[in-house]
Structure 1
């Protein structure tokens, strides 16, 4: 085998390993911070709520809307679009709702808008009253962001968190390079949080769960 072919084989193997690890990390994250048994597919419940978290980038918030729509039956669910006006005069929630109704066919009667929040914590805090009477709750966002939102909901409202059901945010191979970027960012974010916790406590932080 020539040197060129050897390097090609090594590169291909490395790419395969990175891709597999990325997909595994994303798959496991999609099942974190959920009640026991809520990681398995369940029949869609009439009146269930899908909370869709905003993002300033249209390409990302539209992806999140598509995740929301494929996670439920749009005719039977309530969609809470959450996100204030961050980089434009129109709120992220309104932009997502418009896309859902006009492009994806979500009935306008099933849409609720929360347009005050500017952080993930505020997404949860301001949307919680809109989800209180729902029999089941799904959070639609990219996988790691959705996991963080579920953790926040669990901390802020355990009763609502008990209603959580897994959304279909993870699909094998979907946006492969983006999955790798999101995993890399999540690793950076976790390392930064760990470092901050260590400095704040004056000692090593406990491992995250």
Structure 2
């Protein structure tokens, strides 16, 4: 009985740990401004098939739900990702856009950035599409999105001041996967300086791969 109790406590602690890290990453380096036009940047994931894979489907859904109802007319969704590696010439951006339109029925404004092969390039190549946006949301798994926000701060600190939270974290969603995402996140962020992506709670709430 004690063994099962210890396992249950350990399992629960692991789930809480995954939730906490993913929540923390989703709220780092974003502000809380409202109003104006919005750019939602959805980062692609390696897609070796002609249709959107599981990861890209989730990212597209998170991107679409990041559009607030009262901002829909002033929001554009930017799908970012280069060649899928299928040999068809299709890009991650095209695959995600097709899923958004044909499966999810999204009929809003869509822009494609289809040259990037790394997260660093994602940010470089979407910057021209962000110039006129008053607010910017970057969508991916929380740690990956945070890494992209760090890259935007490195490349264009002025645009990074426009970052606001996306809806790519929800409590309890994919709860059993979040510990794995937390482990991935620790690996993905280990090369960044702590002062680039770790902020005090009050700053995270109100302030701002190669």
Secondary structure of the residue that 1:177 maps to in structure 2? Answer: coil
Mapping of 1:74-113 within 5 angstroms? 74-88=72-86, 89-107=89-107, 110-113=109-112
TM-score by length of 2: 0.82
Distance 1:207 1:65, change over 3 A: closer
Q: Normalising to structure 1: TM-score of the pair?
A: 0.82
Cα distance change, pair 83–206 in 1 and its aligned pair in 2 (3 A): closer
- Which structure 1 segments of 5+ residues have no match? 198-204
Higher RCO, 1 vs 2 (CA within 8 Å, ≥6 residues apart): 2
**Residue segments in structure 2 that go unaligned for 5+ positions in a row:** 48-52, 199-210
Q: Report Cα offsets for 1:69-103 as digits up to 9, x if no partner.
A: 11114444101100001322310000000111112
C-alpha distance in structure 2 between counterparts of 1:25 and 1:83, whole Å: 26
Matches of 2:66 and 2:141 in 1, distance apart? Answer: 13
- Match of 1:34, SS state, is coil
Alpha-carbon offset, residue 34 of structure 1: 1.8
SS of the counterpart of 1:72?
coil
Question: Within 2, Cα distance between the matches of 1:208 and 1:113?
Answer: 27
Distance 1:206 1:135 in 2: 25
Instruction: Select the structure of larger CA radius of gyration.
Output: 1
SS at match of 1:52: strand
Alignment of 1:10-159 (within 5 A): 10-35=6-31, 38=32, 45=35, 47-57=37-47, 58-73=53-68, 74-88=72-86, 89-107=89-107, 110-159=109-158
Query: Residues 189 and 113 from structure 1, CA distance in 2 versus in 1: closer, same or farther, beyond 3 angstroms?
Result: closer
Structure 1 ranges of 4+ moved more than 6 A: 205-208
